[in-house]
Structure 1
Amino acid sequence: MADVADLIYAVARSPWALFALVGLLVIDGFFPLVPGETMVVTLAALGASGHGPEPVAVLVVATAATMVGDGIAFLIGRSIHPARRVWMRGSKAQTALLWASGRIERNPGTILVGAKFLPFVRVAVTMTAGASGLPAWRYLVFSLLSATIYTAYHVGVAVAAGELFIADPFVGLAASIAFGILSATAIGGIHGMVTRAQRSRAAASVEHGDL
Structure 2
Amino acid sequence: MSSLLRELARVPPWALLLVVFALPALEASTLLGVVIPAEIAVLLGGVFAHEGRVPLLAVMAVAALGAVVGDSIGYAVGTKLGPGLFSRASEATRQRLDRAQAFVQRYGGPAVLLGRWVALLRALVPSVAGASGLPYRRFVAYNVAGGTLWAVTVAGIGFLAGAAYARAERYLGWSGVLIAMVLVIVALIIRRRHSR
Tell me the TM-score normalized by structure 2.
Answer: 0.72
Within 1, Cα distance between the matches of 2:56 and 2:128?
32
Within 1, Cα distance between the matches of 2:105 and 2:5?
49
Within 1, Cα distance between the matches of 2:107 and 2:153?
22
Larger deviation: 117-126 or 154-163? Answer: 117-126
Q: Is the 8 A contact 1:21 1:62 kept in 2?
A: yes
**C-alpha distance 14-76 of structure 1, shift in aligned 2 (>3 A):** same
Is 2:23 the partner of 1:14?
no
Helix, strand or coil at the partner of 1:137: helix
Q: How many residues end up aligned between the 2 structures?
A: 165
Helix, strand or coil at the partner of 1:165: helix
**C-alpha distance 124-165 of structure 1, shift in aligned 2 (>3 A):** closer
Helix, strand or coil at the partner of 1:53: coil
Within 2, Cα distance between the matches of 1:5 and 1:163?
13
Name the amino acid aligned to 1:101.
Answer: Q
1:29 — aligned with what? Answer: 28
**What whole-Å deviation, never above 9, does each CA across 1:22-59 have from its counterpart, x for those lacking one?**
22221112321235221111121121132x21111100
Which aligned runs of 4 or more in structure 1 are off by greater than 6 angstroms?
Answer: none
**C-alpha distance 36-102 of structure 1, shift in aligned 2 (>3 A):** closer
Within 2, Cα distance between the matches of 1:85 and 1:59?
35
Larger deviation: 152-161 or 13-22? Answer: 13-22
1:186 — aligned with what? Answer: none
Q: Is the 8 A contact 1:49 1:166 kept in 2?
A: no
Q: Is the 8 A contact 1:27 1:34 kept in 2?
A: no
How far did residue 101 of structure 1 move?
A: 2.3
1:44 — aligned with what? Answer: 46
Write the mapping of 1:31-180 to structure 2, written as runs, cut at 5 A.
31=31, 32=33, 33-50=35-52, 52-81=53-82, 82-86=85-89, 89-91=90-92, 93-167=93-167, 168=169
How far did residue 165 of structure 1 move?
A: 2.6
Give the structure, 1 or 2, with the largest relative contact order (CA under 8 Å, sep 6 or more): 2
Q: Is the 8 A contact 1:22 1:62 kept in 2?
A: yes
Within 1, Cα distance between the matches of 2:41 and 2:165?
18
Helix, strand or coil at the partner of 2:112: helix
Within 2, Cα distance between the matches of 1:137 and 1:101?
19
Larger deviation: 40-49 or 62-71? Answer: 40-49
Name the amino acid aligned to 2:61.
Answer: V
| Unaligned residue ranges in structure 2 (runs of 5+) | 175-196
Q: Is the 8 A contact 1:62 1:151 kept in 2?
A: yes
Q: Is the 8 A contact 2:37 2:119 kept in 1?
A: no
Within 1, Cα distance between the matches of 2:107 and 2:4?
48
How far did residue 8 of structure 1 move?
A: 2.6
Q: Is the 8 A contact 2:79 2:131 kept in 1?
A: yes
Identity of matched residues, %: 21
How far did residue 120 of structure 1 move?
A: 2.4
